[in-house]
Amino acid sequence: MSGNDDILFIVDEYLAGNRLDSVSATKMPDCSRSYAATLIKSGHIRVRDEVKKPGYRVRLGDPVQIKKPKATPLAFTPEAIDFDILHEDAYLIVVNKPPGLVVHPAPGHHSGTLVNGLLHHCPDLKGIGGRQRPGIVHRLDKDTSGALVVAKNDLVHHHLSRQFKTRHVLKTYLALVHGHVTPDTGSITFSIGRHPVERKKMSTVSPKGRLAKTLWSVRERFASLTLLELELKTGRTHQLRVHCTAIQHPIVGDPVYYNRELRRKFLQNKALHSLTTPIKRQMLHAWRLQFTHPITNAAVLFEAPLPDDMHLLLSALRKTDK
């Protein structure tokens, strides 16, 4: 975090009565409550210019000031990490990120990331983009697999970033979800924001949600599961996972949004239970990525083959259904 991103806010009726560490964490992207507590203890977060305890219950009208400490530059160490390259030229790389691989170094993940592997493959990436995420234009969750584009210079990084921001990039995913989805096509339009209680989750009931839209179509049907093709029209955090759960068709294996109530509803089938219970990550794959090449100005499209775990599960489902 940078000292240029200091935050000052006044506690409103919605926030009043909550813990200071929890409230502060909701105001800082990618910040956990435990890290917010550390900032409070060190005096970086104050209430009425006074140091409080992390468990202090904020009151209506309290002014809260967050002075973020300067970020400690991450050490980008090149590492030999396996990942498939779908395309590479002098300007960009498109990779098929495997599930379980974190995209860029962050607190708790200083090594073993896609960026570490990219720096081993292409050492000149360091510093591109003006951030501590060399070459990275967009990201995928750790346990989501699929196509991801990386810029090799600042011009390409800027051009691609603008395409993502203006929604000129076509992102199509494949997701295996619970239940029988009907009809064959449709759309989901629910606003998404930080969960009002569980701040590490996103939710469609957030009072400060932002509009999110997902288009879906059925690719394949199984006894109690459906393989969907999902197109992102917006790019909210966890959008597909949240939207699928919101329509009562959670993604198979999702450890965050597939709750106990939904598990009881969908795991009545013993054969299905035995196939899906071992799955420990969401069966979500960034299948297609289409954008305009920043240098050639040509429309380019890349498809990422399914990872082994998702491919094997679909194969098993096809045999079970026969």
Q: 268 lies in a domain?
A: yes
- Say whether both 122 and 185 belong to one domain: no
Report the pLDDT value the prediction gives residue 107, as an integer from 0 to 100. Answer: 64
Q: Are residues 191 and 282 in the same domain?
A: yes
What is the per-residue pLDDT across 247-271, written as a single tens digit (0 to 9) for each? 999 999 999 998 767 777 776 667 7
Distance CA 291, CA 288 (A): 10
Return the sign of the alpha-carbon dihedral for residues 179, 180, 182, 187.
Answer: positive
Final residue belonging to a domain, choices 135, 166, 197: 166
Q: What's 288's DSSP letter? A: E
**Percent with pLDDT over 90 in the chain:** 67
Pairing of strands 225-232, 213-221: antiparallel
Which CATH number does the domain housing residue 136 bear?
3.30.2350.10
Within-domain flag for 62: yes
List active site positions.
141
* 166, 183, 199 - which closes a domain: 166
Pairwise CA distance, residues 17 & 27, whole Å? 16
Distance, CA of 222 to CA of 71 (rounded, Å): 49
User: What does the pLDDT average to over 102-129?
Assistant: 81
* pLDDT at site 140: 95
More confident: 270 or 65:
65
Q: Are strands 284-292 and 299-303 parallel, antiparallel or unpaired?
A: antiparallel
151, 54: one domain: no
Q: Which domain holds residue 225?
A: 172-286+314-321
- Name the burial class of residue 136, with classes exposed (0-12), middle (13-18) and buried (19+) by CB atoms within 10 angstroms of its CB: buried
Left (φ > 0), alpha (ψ -120 to 50) or beta: where does 24 sit?
alpha
Query: How many angstroms separate the CA atoms of 117 and 250, rounded?
Result: 32
Residue showing tokens 């759960």: 245
Exposed / middle / buried, residue 142 (Cβ in 10 Å: 0-12, 13-18, 19+): middle
Which residues does residue 228 pair with via DSSP β-bridges, in sequence order?
175, 218
